[in-house]
Structures are given as C-alpha cells and as structure tokens.
Amino acid sequence: MSVENERIGFIGLGIMGRPMAMNLVRAGFSVTVHNRTRAKERPLAEAGAKVAETPAEVARQSDVVVVMVPDTPDVQDVLVGPRGIADAAHRGLLVIDMSTISPDAEREMATVLEARGSDLLDAPVTGGDVGAQKATLTIMVGGKRSAYERALPILQAMGKSVHHVGPSGAGQSLKLCNQILCAVNMLGLSEALLLARRAEIDPQQFVDVLGGGAGGSWQLTNLGPKIVERQLDPGFMIRLMQKDLSLAQALASRLSVPLPGTAAVQQLYRGLEASEDGALGTQALILALERLGRPEPNRSS
Amino acid sequence: MSVENERIGFIGLGIMGRPMAMNLVRAGFSVTVHNRTRAKERPLAEAGAKVAETPAEVARQSDVVVVMVPDTPDVQDVLVGPRGIADAAHRGLLVIDMSTISPDAEREMATVLEARGSDLLDAPVTGGDVGAQKATLTIMVGGKRSAYERALPILQAMGKSVHHVGPSGAGQSLKLCNQILCAVNMLGLSEALLLARRAEIDPQQFVDVLGGGAGGSWQLTNLGPKIVERQLDPGFMIRLMQKDLSLAQALASRLSVPLPGTAAVQQLYRGLEASEDGALGTQALILALERLGRPEPNRSS
C-alpha cells in the first residue's frame, strides 16, 4: 500500500487542528475527523472528510491517527481514556500526537500503544495558526525511525520543516526548549523596549537599529512592532505559554536544570492572568513590567 | 574646510580602539593618538599617526577627537580630568565618545563642553572586535543633529550602520537596551540548551531546528555553536557585560523600569566572577546554570 493510500484520522479541530486537517484533505488523503465539540467537524465534512463518533471509532477507520488537542490530560483522554484510541488500536496503527504535552506522559502512552502493536510518535509544532494554515509549520518528531519515515509524507502536507530529533518524548522536549527561548527572549525584549521608551528613544528606531545586531531575535523582529503599535491580541496566548512553561519546569525539575529566566516570565504572566489578561498574546508581557513600574493610583484611599 | 581635511584625535587604543583608529588612518584622515599605556601608541605611529602626551594635547592638535575607553570614570578622566580635553577645548571642537558609559554622565559632560563652544556626541558601538577590525560596527549616536552630520564621514570609516537616535545620552541609552537584549537572550539560550542536553537532544539539532523559528536569535545562531563546542573564550567578556548591565540598572532605576531578567543574569555572572571566570565570554553563562544544577562534590567533607 502506498503511503498516499493511508487512511488518516484527525482528532482535535481547534485553531491549529482545523487548518492542519484541511491541508491533509487538500493533499488528497482520505480523512476521518472527530472533535469533542462535534459542531466543529462540519467545515471538514463539507470539504470531504468523514466524521466519527469517538476517538476509538476514528482508530477503527484509520491507518494513521493525528491528535492535536490542548494539554496532557486531553491527549490522555483521547489515547487511553474511555472510547479512546487504545481501545481500538490495531496492529500497524500509527498515532501521531502533534499536541504540546509532557514528554514523560508521552513516553508512558507510547508503551501502552506498543503493547498493542501500534506506534506513537510525538510531533509537536511551532509556527502558530498562520503556519498551520499555510502548511509552513516546523515539526519536531520523537519516536522510532521507521514510524517517522512512515509519517513523513503526512507531516510534509502540514509543515515545511520536519525533523526526527530522537526517541519517544524527544519532540516534546525540544518543543519545550523552544518555548523557553520564546518566553525568555520576550522578557529581554519587554525590559529593553520599556527602558527605551522611558528614555525617550523612538521605539521604531529601537526595532530597526537593534534588530539587525547581536540583540536581534525573531521575537524582536516579529513581535516588537506589535508591542510598539500596542497590538496585544494573540498570536500565541499567554495562557497556553504558561501551560508550556509549566511542562518545561516539570521536565527541568526531573533533570535538575535551573530555569531562573523562565521562572521570572511565569511569575509575570501569573500577574497578568490574575488581571484577566491571560487571553492576550505573549507580547503583552510588557504590561506586567509597566504595572510593576507604575505608582499605585489608589494608594491613599 | 572639507570634512576629509578634519584633523582627528583618537584616545584609547584597546581591543576596540586600536583597529578603529587604524581604519581612520587607512581612510586617509590625519590622526593624532594617545593612550594611557603609551606603548600601545606605537603600531599607530608606525602606520602614520602622530602621538600626543595627554588628552589636552590631542584636543589642541585636532578638530575632532574620538574617545574609546572602558568605563564612565575613564571618560570623565579623559574629558574633564587634569590635562583632559576640556582644558584645551576650543570653539568648534567636536568630541565623539564611542565608549559605553552612563547616559546621565554623558549629558553632564556635554554641558561642560558646550559652555566652551565644543560639541560632545555619544556614539557607542556594537559588533565586537571583529566589527571594529572590519569597519562593520553599528554606531548609535546621541547629540545635536548638526554635530552628527559633521561626524558622519568619520563614523562611516569605522562602521557600516550609523544612526542618529536622539539628543545627548540617547546613543548610550539605546546601547544599554542592546546589552539587555544580548544578556537576557543568552539566559534563555543557556536554560534551553542545558535542558536539551540533559534531555539527550543532540545540541547541534537544537541549534539547527530552533534557530530558524520563533525561538531564534543572534545569540542562538552565533554563540549557540560555541557553547556546544565548549568554546567559552571571549567574544565579549563577562566582566564588561556586567559593567554595561549595571549601567542599564542605574538608568532603569531612575526611570522606574523593573528589569528582572537582567537582574537574574547579573546574579549568575556574579557567581562566575567569584569563581574567577569573569574573563570568559558571555556564552559562559551556561556554566552558572550547570553549577547550580550539580550536586556539591564536597558536601560530606
């Protein structure tokens, strides 16, 4: 059977999953979808996908199942919960978990599926909703080499840069490293940009002059201008970054790696979540510094 | 008088100043040099520069004086100390301070020189010793527009990217913002790279896969490979970065800007300085995290 003839299942049709599944349909794969909120299946059904009642039902109708849900417990529900994929896992089934979750939990589930003759790859992504729509995601894959090679044509329909980075869990671990870089670089950007503004430097010159030098970063070039223009909508939500940074800290705790910069960002985002700003984009970190550095308006009351 | 006929003085012939002065000589300017350690004047004299006994003597023989010394007190010595430039400042003298120092101190010295009919520009640089040698520095200039325009052909002989960023002190303020970006991005890089290594991710894949994405930065692309190959020599010395970060904190304190990420880096570098590692390059930050996360070998003794 040629890989293009593999029947694909897709579970999780949110901001990321929906355009990713759509790209598989457009690439000519036979796709069966399922989403906890069933109404979200409709646009995929209209584009030609089949729908299934449960993750187990998706697994029964598929050779390869892609999972794209928010957090570790969601993946555990879909894979090993009641009416989950493991219930219907068959010899030769390949499951590709593209969610960002705990690498340790991923490895445990891989063991459960392997006992049933199925493979589990972790394949988290970066590139955001725009990357999901344009099929330009970077995909970091952990798991067996043979399973990676089988998954490759499917992953290439969703991303432009696909890498096998190690055994089960390695994709998740590297994704968490990426989130540390994004978060701490955003902290540096927020500190420097706020200082520049208070020192009466034109913030556009800050972006233009420093972006090309040793202080340059993707965060500065892409999110610096949004901060300058006060566009604080996501992009990538603070609430989801907090989830990822907690996963990074859990991994780092097990491996005895201190993450002081990451911890500082988490505390500042915690303050923003307390002010109900957790649905803003990660670039809203500058609000936390502004509030720390502002006199309390009601101190005398 | 055409700008190319301006007589240039150059004070401070260290790792940065020496190649910068050499580039002025090569560009055909008439250059008079002075260095506190007089022996360092010799290579410039051999290349055709005149030498002078004191900063005041340099000022007497020059239309424009460039200063490139380590720290605020050094600039104060050269500009307003005994036998300093201010002693011999003449109407129309232009002083260009390319050192990285306190923006507030810079403004004060600009006032002193202005009272004598001289102009002071602050024009700190980024791009390191390689940029100084190849005349590819980025130069951030604060001060009067007319003085900037007069300085431009001189600065263009030393750098490839020259920007007027505001009034006196603005060049220094923006340079300090750049150092915050470099330092905090290095913190994120150190945390993520150490976590990747302990999670048994190939560090070269870390650099290759993450460098092109949202976690990418100049620090990752240029210093990541050095960390991987354990090349911890400078580049830019921890000790000098500490000086710059202290200047950033002083400015931020006056402007009520909290810099928690910068503070974390300073504390970690302080630990390295205590272990006599202050002469390593900034990428040695990872040593501080490694030491924090390592069991104490002599705990039982």
Give the confidence band of B294 by pLDDT, cuts at 50, 70, 90: confident
B222–A contact, CB cutoff 8 A: yes
User: A147 and A189, same structural domain?
Assistant: no
Could you read off the pLDDT of B206-252 as tens digits, one per residue? 999 999 999 999 999 999 999 999 999 999 999 999 999 999 999 99
Contact by Cβ (8 Å): B175, A190: no
Whether residue B297 is contained in a domain is answered as no
**Alpha carbon distances (Å) from A120 to A132, A144, A191:** 21, 9, 41
CA pseudo-torsion sign B39, B41, B43, B49: negative
Out of A187, A212, A251, whose CB is closest to B261?
A187
User: B80 and B17, same structural domain?
Assistant: yes
Whether residue B298 is contained in a domain is answered as no
Whether residue B222 is contained in a domain is answered as yes
Q: What is the CATH number of the domain that holds B97?
A: 3.40.50.720
Give the confidence band of B301 by pLDDT, cuts at 50, 70, 90: very low
Whether residue A298 is contained in a domain is answered as no
Whether residue A246 is contained in a domain is answered as yes
Cα radius of gyration (chain A): 21
User: A182 and A139, same structural domain?
Assistant: no
User: A83 and A125, same structural domain?
Assistant: yes
**Alpha carbon distances (Å) from B299 to A253, B289, B294, B295, B296:** 21, 19, 12, 8, 5
Out of A208, A215, A294, whose CB is closest to B178?
A215
User: B158 and B83, same structural domain?
Assistant: yes
User: A254 and A226, same structural domain?
Assistant: yes
Domain C-terminal end among B125, B148, B166: B166
A115–B contact, CB cutoff 8 A: no
User: B234 and B162, same structural domain?
Assistant: no
Whether residue A43 is contained in a domain is answered as yes
Whether residue B301 is contained in a domain is answered as no
User: A288 and A195, same structural domain?
Assistant: yes
User: How do beta strands B137-142 and B125-126 pair?
Assistant: antiparallel
Whether residue A301 is contained in a domain is answered as no
User: A161 and A246, same structural domain?
Assistant: no
Q: Which chain A residues have a beta carbon less than 8 Å from that of B292?
A: 258
User: How do beta strands B64-67 and B30-34 pair?
Assistant: unpaired
**Cβ–Cβ contacts within 10 Å for residue B260, how many?**
20
Domain C-terminal end among B125, B142, B166: B166
Q: Which chain A residues have a beta carbon less than 8 Å from that of B126?
A: 213-215
Mark yes or no for CB contact B206/A182 under 8 Å: no
> Which structural domain, as residue segments, surrounds residue B132?
3-166
Mark yes or no for CB contact B184/A184 under 8 Å: yes
Contact by Cβ (8 Å): A135, A23: yes
Q: What is the CATH number of the domain that holds B193?
A: 1.10.1040.10
User: A139 and A8, same structural domain?
Assistant: yes
Could you read off the pLDDT of A35-77 as tens digits, one per residue? 999 999 999 999 999 999 999 999 999 999 999 999 999 999 9
Q: Which chain B residues have a beta carbon less than 8 Å from that of A185?
A: 184-185, 188, 215, 217
Domain C-terminal end among A112, A134, A166: A166
Q: Is the pTM of the predicted complex or chain greater than 0.90? A: yes
Residue B184 has, within 13 A of its CA and on its CB side, a CA count of: 33
Shortest Cα distance, chain A CAs vs residue B178, angstroms? 5
Contact by Cβ (8 Å): A122, A150: no
Overall number of domains in chain B: 2
B161–A contact, CB cutoff 8 A: yes
User: How do beta strands B119-122 and B94-97 pair?
Assistant: parallel
Contact by Cβ (8 Å): A29, A23: no
Mark yes or no for CB contact A261/B127 under 8 Å: no
Output DSSP code: residue A94. E
Prediction ipTM score: 0.95
To probe the interface with A, which of B100, B197, B209 has the most A CB atoms within 10 Å? B209
User: B228 and B115, same structural domain?
Assistant: no
Does the annotation count B160 as an active-site position? no
Q: Which chain B residues have a beta carbon less than 8 Å from that of A184?
A: 184-185, 187-188, 191-192, 261
For residue A265, the chain B residue with the least C-alpha distance is B261
Mark yes or no for CB contact B260/A264 under 8 Å: yes
Could you read off the pLDDT of A218-241 as tens digits, one per residue? 999 999 999 999 999 999 999 999
User: B276 and B153, same structural domain?
Assistant: no
Non-local CB neighbours of A207 within 8 Å, separated by 6+ positions = A220, A221, A224, A225, A228
Could you read off the pLDDT of B85-132 as tens digits, one per residue? 999 999 999 999 999 999 999 999 999 999 999 999 999 999 989 999
